[in-house]
Structure 1
Amino acid sequence: MNPTELNKYWTDIYFYLRYQNQNEDKISHQGVRILQLLDKCEYIGIKEIAKNIDVSHNTASEHVKRLIHKSWIHKERSTRDERMVILRLTEQGRQVLKRNANLDEGKLEQILARMTPSEKQIIDSALHLLSERAKNATNS
């Protein structure tokens, strides 16, 4: 397997198994990326968002303001450092993220129901390994 093949598999999987009606949320790609960051990182503020999505502090701040206005995220003071504002997903934000970044669980259940136990184990092992290696790749 090479990276080109892996990317083809990944894009095929996402294309066919994504949730439909994603456009009803009216969220930008940057907005989805911010929601993903908040989902994956416990303590994150504007500075970290700007760095992670490679935009200026002001641009990140504008994106965050829009997401707060839509009630998809909220701000709270850090218990570690009162000067720091931490951003968190709301339940509504979690649902928007699910519709715009996850695979459709109903479609996945249909596919998994047609697989043998050994096929399910192969998929589980491979995706678990790739997930763990991906986490390590972003931390280096």
Structure 2
Amino acid sequence: MISDINNYFTNIYFHLHPKHQEAISHQSVRILQTIQKRRYVVIRDIAEQLSISQNTASEHVKKLVQHGWVIKERSEDDQRKVYLHLTDGGLAVLRKNTELDEEKLQNALSKLSVAEREKIKEAFRLLSEVST
């Protein structure tokens, strides 16, 4: 079953992903995802998520800041803490590198019945809920 799901998932992504325009590493995408999915993210969180040193995480984040995809903000409560946030540009880059192309997806879904589309939506919702 696991093998089947992984095979289906990679086929879906292969056929329905958008064309990438930015040169961005997989590690950078993972950093952007971490910032998007968590409310308060600091460099230490990035290092732990990617199993890298804090210095290496800091260098990666520095590049994302230079691209204008991430901003840093000092905590009002504790000036030692610096939180990371996505910019609108960062969110757009993240979407292009992790989401399916809406037009391609709509075209594929249009080949299914309403009931089939609802089944797919429900399956993704369930899997999303239990994966957190």
TM bucket by the smaller chain?
Answer: over 0.9
Do the aligned partners of residues 116 and 90 (structure 1) sit closer, same or farther apart at CA in structure 2, a change above 3 Å counting? same
Unaligned runs of 5+ in 1: 136-140
Aligned partner of 1:40: which letter?
Answer: K
- Residue in structure 2 matched with residue 34 of structure 1 by the alignment: 31
* Corresponding position of 1:124: 121
Are 2:22 and 1:60 aligned?
Answer: no
Distance 1:80 1:7, change over 3 A: farther
Q: Deviations over 1:29-79 (max 9, x none)?
A: 100000011110110010000000111111100100000000000000123
Task: Output the CA distance in 2 between the equivalents of 1:81 and 1:12.
Answer: 46
Please give the alpha-carbon distance, in whole angstroms, between the structure 2 residues aligned to 1:40 and 1:80.
22
**SS of 1:25's equivalent?**
coil
| Distance of 1:11 and 1:114 partners within structure 2 | 20
2:75 matches 1:74: no
Q: Which amino acid aligns with 1:53?
A: L
What is the aligned partner in structure 2 of residue 8 from structure 1?
Answer: 7
Task: Give the whole-Å Cα distance in 1 for the aligned partners of 2:76 and 2:8.
Answer: 43
Cross-structure match for 1:18: 17
Corresponding pairs, count: 132
- Matched residues in 2 for 1:30 and 1:79: separation? 29
- Structure-2 separation of matches of 1:49 and 1:11: 26
Partner amino acid, structure 1, of 2:110: A
CA–CA separation in structure 1 for the residues paired with 2:28 and 2:78: 26
The amino acid of 1:132's aligned partner reads E
Write the distance in 1 (CA, Å) between the matches of 2:111 and 2:127.
23
Equivalent AA in structure 2 for residue 19 of structure 1: P
Aligned counterpart for 2:101 among listed residues 91, 101, 104: 104
What's the RMSD between the two structures over aligned residues? 1.0
The separation in 2 between residues aligned to 1:83 and 1:61, in whole angstroms, is: 15
Aligned to 1:138: none
Task: State TM-score, norm by structure 1.
Answer: 0.91
Q: Point out where structure 2 has 5 or more consecutive residues left out of the alignment.
A: none
Deviations 1:110-132 (A, max 9, x none): 12222211101110111100000
